[in-house]
Amino acid sequence: MSIMPDHWIRRMAAEHGMIEPFVEAQRREGVISYGLSSYGYDARAADEFKIFTNVDNAVVDPKAFSEDGFVTRKGPVCIIPPNSFVLTHTVEYFRIPRDVLVICLGKSTYARCGLIVNVTPLEPEWEGQVTIEISNTTPLPAKVYANEGVCQFLFLSGESAPEVSYADRRGKYMGQRGVALPRL
């Protein structure tokens, strides 16, 4: 498995719509960086946030998920309560090639503030906006900024295409737009 460089990512975005919209160089002046890097792509958080709350004493159950445990906010900033969690999605829409696996990693700027992005794979031939899970591990409220970098995607090329891709399996999160909640 090889990690793919900037020129490959740029070509795949231009010729195959792998990332839309695509930012060709890292933007970093006054913002948390986003765009193409040497061996990855830093994606932006959208301005839609679902903040976990315990107002209604909801139970989080992945087999019977209820939106009762969320408060939805839209705006340029999201305040994550102490020891809590928020869902957002990427501004970018991704189309993953059949012979590629993508790994999502958190940005160090947020990690140094105690905000952790869950490591998520994007499987071969998956497409959509990526739902991003951000945990505030601190005892203090923490900010996340919309339209700025939130995570980095690394593109790993396999020796060959898999026998069965995410699209072949008709995966339940295929083509998602916005925040996709857990599905069974």
Point out the residues that are catalytic.
133
Say if CB 168 and CB 52 are below 8 A apart: no
- Residue 109 is labelled as binding a ligand: yes
Say if CB 138 and CB 111 are below 8 A apart: no
- Residue 120 is labelled as binding a ligand: no
- Residue 152 is labelled as binding a ligand: yes
- Residue 107 is labelled as binding a ligand: yes
CB neighbours of residue 92 within 10 Å = 21
CB neighbours of residue 168 within 10 Å = 12
- Residue 108 is labelled as binding a ligand: yes
Task: Indicate the length of the chain as a whole number.
Answer: 184
- Residue 173 is labelled as binding a ligand: no
- Residue 110 is labelled as binding a ligand: yes
SS3 content of the chain, % helix, strand, coil (to 5): 10, 40, 50
Q: Which residues are annotated as a binding site?
A: 107-112, 152, 166, 172, 176
Binding site for dCTP: residue ranges?
107-112, 152, 166, 172, 176
